[in-house]
Structure 1
Amino acid sequence: MKRVVVIKLTPTPGQFVALKATLALCNTGANMVSRLAHTATDRRPFALQKHVYAHLKALGLSAQPAIRVIKKVADAYATRQANLNSGNYGRPGSKRYTNVSGKPIAFREAAGQPFDDRCLSWQIDQSTVSIWSSAGRLRGVGFVCAPWQLKLLTARKGESDLVFRDGHFYLHATVDTGTPPPLVPADDPTGWLGVDLGIVNLAVTTADDPTDLDVRWSHGAVTGHRKRNQTLRTALQKVGTKSAKRKLKKRRRKETRYATDINHQLSKTIVAQAQRTGQGIAVEDLSRIRDRVRLGRAQRQQLHSWAFAQLRDQITYKAHAAGLPVQVINPRNTSKTCHHCGHYDPANRPSQALFRCHDCGWTGHADHNAALNIAALGHQSYRAAQSTVPKAATPLTAS
């Protein structure tokens, strides 16, 4: 399983200037390649390399950094095309679609730049890196990190991206923590912990009592916190003084850090709960939910502004680290189907919080009912995956 570890660099003043100049040079080259790629019919890295490699070398880039710049541009255009094809920028012919597709991709002067092992090497025991720069090879560039990050760096594999943010340099290192063990009957958990994600309550599990939900996981409390930040941001924007702009710059990532922290707390609690009870985790898949659901304006803002994909990813990698299986479940109709008798009816959910089955009469919290359905689907999905295990690795059982 691949993860990204963010490491803060501590360069000397001379190294700082060289790294900043390196990013500027790489992104100048990326913009040059982007202008060609915008009109090219073949945007694969090798096809672009034939036309721009010599120009990048003349610009001052060495061989391998030039290739990484070309690959960065090709990946950016591939990502944009995938977003255009999936409708993330509207329908073909719409104003937004035309604006996005009608101009070359632009790279900021300080945009991140990927480096491979030929351009960057790690001296983990010395807490330093050696990195290519426009001023030559920089050796002994220090870094600081937590002990758990240092441990993960021993499994580093792949690219490391140099990122400049808020006046500091960081390396985003890709690490491979290994593949989770195969699904075999001996690893069958004692049960499944279903996790229902939502707007009013960020997450409700099969072990929770939704009527006594921890306020930290209530979207009402989270929304209140974010609204206060939004009100302050709006007030500072209206003032427009230099002091107000300094405060805005200082606070610009505050909400993102808050959401990330809440997701870390929540995912850690869920994984600890599953580990304590010996259960697997079944979490609903909210991919493309913005295209599937129709909500009011206020709810759309709440839904779009919370990082549910980040929460699911955190649950997944923490569960794998703890040796717990995870199943990602399609949540279709889980909130309108009775977990007790399996009866589906949209009228089973007369309100956001209440679930009342029109067939068997079971009554309870709607989010808790959905979590129970997700847990059952997780068990089914796990068993279906087990059926693909080779017969030689599966013990025989009596029919």
Structure 2
Amino acid sequence: MKLVVQVRLLPTPVQAAALEATLLACNEAATWASAVAFEKDVKRNFALREHTYTEIKARWGLGAQAAQHVIKKVCDAYTVLKASLKAGNLGKPGSKRYRRAVEEPVAFRPKGAQPYDDRMLSWQIDQRRISIWTVSGRVKDVAFTAGPEQLATLALYRRGESDLLCRDGMWFLNATCDVPEAPLNTDPVDFLGIDLGIVNIATTSDGEIMAGRELNRIRVRERKLRTKLQKKNTPSAKRRLKKRRRKEARRAKDINHKIAKHVVAEAERTGRGIALEDLTGIRERVRLRKPQRATHSSWAFAQLGQFIAYKARRAGVPVVYVDPAYTSRTCAECGHVDRANRVSQAWFACRSCGFVDHADRNSSRNIRARAWQLWRRGAQSTAPAPPPRQRGRAGRKRSATPSDARCANPSH
């Protein structure tokens, strides 16, 4: 399976200047090539190369490999744009966002990521150094830092391209690694149901609740601070805003990684599979009041689901996706479905048999039961490929989605 290992580069000021000049040149050339592709309606790699390759090398001083990667990056961007338009991710045909996407050529950010192959980039992992091509020539002995697990993964499994990117003044390399998978457990003894939520990030059918109250409090505090600084609009306020960029996202990502690792380890230890809800497109199906929108939009449930999926695939743990409709209103003991069963956000009380339980724990038990039924009918699923950026879910599930588990062969 494909995994991406990110390492941080520690270039000297001279090395950083060379890397910055390289990104600027590559992305300026990509923007020009994109305009040519748009004007001539030539968006395939070899066809576009005939129109742009020589000019890119002569005008921006790029090497042969770099010029080819620039052209390929342009073609990939148009491929992604076409898929996004087809999937409806950019609105309906005729909408302002849709028209803007189809009426203008794709433009690249000045410091957008640039791919490198092994001809342009060499690794000395034991010395934590790289040698990298730039428009100023080959830059050697660029230091990088990474954790012990990352270094081991790089040394054993690094394959293919690496992406150079600059973010908030820091330099990174995203290296592609081809990590072997464990044999899939085709005979799980049961399933571990996972209910994803906002108040409680994840609740398992074993009764374990991973609360998100602390994270939600931090999000509210960060949101208020951002609003205050944006209103102030002074140079010092802008510096503070820039410094705090992506801090909340990094915190949420770290929490999601830890939850996913714990869930997969528990399922692997007990010989079970993992049952998740298929929440694709839930944001489009939900109408929220204005105070709820920010909280709902910042909920990274899709990221948590992807982390669980790829970690499960690496460990050989089967994952089944089930229909989320009415799991919060169905009694896990008797199966009675009633809206009144959901007494509050936290509690469930069945109107038929009197069963009382935590609402999220009851939902996770229903998810587990549905996954087990699907598995016995032969609906097997390994970790699926990440869906196109569609995130979000309502506070409770009200709309049905396809009731069969999604079966896919992922590549992460």
Q: If the length of structure 2 is used for normalisation, what is the TM-score?
A: 0.84
Aligned partners of 2:276 and 2:322 also within 8 Å: yes
Which of the residues 153, 167, 171 maps onto 1:165? 167
1:340: Cα distance to partner? 2.8
Give, in whole Å, the separation in 2 of the partners of 1:145 and 1:103. 40
* Residue identity matched to 2:150: Q
Aligned partners of 1:163 and 1:170 also within 8 Å: yes
Aligned partners of 1:34 and 1:105 also within 8 Å: yes
Give, in whole Å, the separation in 2 of the partners of 1:155 and 1:22. 27
Query: What residue number does 2:119 align with?
Result: 118
Which of the residues 377, 389, 393 maps onto 2:370? 377
Aligned partners of 1:183 and 1:385 also within 8 Å: no
Give, in whole Å, the separation in 2 of the partners of 1:83 and 1:299. 27
1:142: Cα distance to partner? 2.0
Give, in whole Å, the separation in 2 of the partners of 1:159 and 1:167. 23
Give, in whole Å, the separation in 2 of the partners of 1:310 and 1:12. 34
Distance 1:28 1:315, change over 3 A: same
Query: What residue number does 1:397 align with?
Result: none
1:120: Cα distance to partner? 1.7
- Counterparts of 1:1-399 in structure 2, within 5 Å, are 1-59=1-59, 60-153=61-154, 154-184=156-186, 188-208=187-207, 213-214=209-210, 217-218=211-212, 220-349=213-342, 351-383=344-376, 384=378
How well do the aligned residues superpose, as a CA RMSD in angstroms?
2.5
Aligned partners of 2:207 and 2:361 also within 8 Å: yes
Give, in whole Å, the separation in 2 of the partners of 1:38 and 1:198. 43
Aligned partners of 1:183 and 1:386 also within 8 Å: no
Aligned partners of 2:318 and 2:380 also within 8 Å: no
Distance 1:278 1:183, change over 3 A: closer
- Aligned partner of residue 239 in structure 2, secondary structure: helix
Give, in whole Å, the separation in 1 of the partners of 2:203 and 2:380. 27
Aligned partners of 1:354 and 1:364 also within 8 Å: yes
What percentage of aligned pairs have identical amino acids?
52
Distance 1:298 1:270, change over 3 A: farther
* Residue identity matched to 2:54: A
1:97: Cα distance to partner? 2.0
* Residue identity matched to 1:34: S
Q: 4+ runs of 1 displaced by more than 6 Å?
A: none
Distance 1:92 1:238, change over 3 A: same
- Aligned partner of residue 107 in structure 1, secondary structure: coil
Unaligned runs of 5+ in 2: 382-412
The worse-fitting range, judged by mean Cα deviation, of 63-72 and 80-89 is: 80-89
The worse-fitting range, judged by mean Cα deviation, of 64-73 and 349-358 is: 349-358
Summarize deviations over 1:346-365 as a string: whole Å, max 9, x none.
45435434434455553433
Aligned partners of 2:276 and 2:319 also within 8 Å: yes
Matched length = 379
Give, in whole Å, the separation in 2 of the partners of 1:190 and 1:207. 14
Q: If the length of structure 1 is used for normalisation, what is the TM-score?
A: 0.87
